[in-house]
Amino acid sequence: MAKDKIGKSITNKHLHARTTFLYQAATYLTLQASSDTAKADDTSEKASKRGHSGLALQLVSHLRTVSLKGQTRLSAKLKRSMCKACNSILVLGRTSTCSVENGSKDGKKPWADVMVVECNMCGSRKRYPVGAVRQNRKTYR
């Protein structure tokens, strides 16, 4: 008799749970701070001027550290919702702005569209291709 096969489970489940909690807490604090900018008890002066929670910035920084040290991959959706420069959560319309640019001559190439997300706190810009088909990883080609 052969052993029953165990279904796939998440490796480092405790790290996954920790990063998920840190992301949810940072998002909650960012949304609270951006909706209620009258509070002056934020830890960072720069963050409080623009309606960001200093604690949320610290949680995102901690989230990055946990994922790097534990060598766990963050999903692309999660990585795209955090600013690499200032560790803020990017919420469209509140903490970031989004626009679509086409750098081709006269915008004739529709596959050259690029979505630009700009952080309102530090001014850094992230550029993502829109509509382009991603190439598979080298191991899957």
| pLDDT of 24 over the 70 cut | yes
Question: Half-sphere exposure (CA, 13 Å, Cβ side) for 100?
Answer: 8
Query: For residues 16-27, b (16+ Cβ closer than 10 Å) or e, as one string?
Result: bebbeebbebbb
Q: Where are the domains positioned within the chain?
A: 13-140
| pLDDT of 8 over the 80 cut | no
Predicted confidence at residue 45, as pLDDT, reads 56
Predicted confidence at residue 42, as pLDDT, reads 46
**Maximum C-alpha span of the chain:** 68
pLDDT tens-digit map of 101-112: 998 888 888 888
Which tokens sit at 131? 């509509």
Closest by alpha carbon to 16, among 84, 77, 79, 71? 71
pLDDT tens-digit map of 28-84: 999 998 666 544 544 555 555 555 689 999 999 999 999 999 999 999 999 999 999
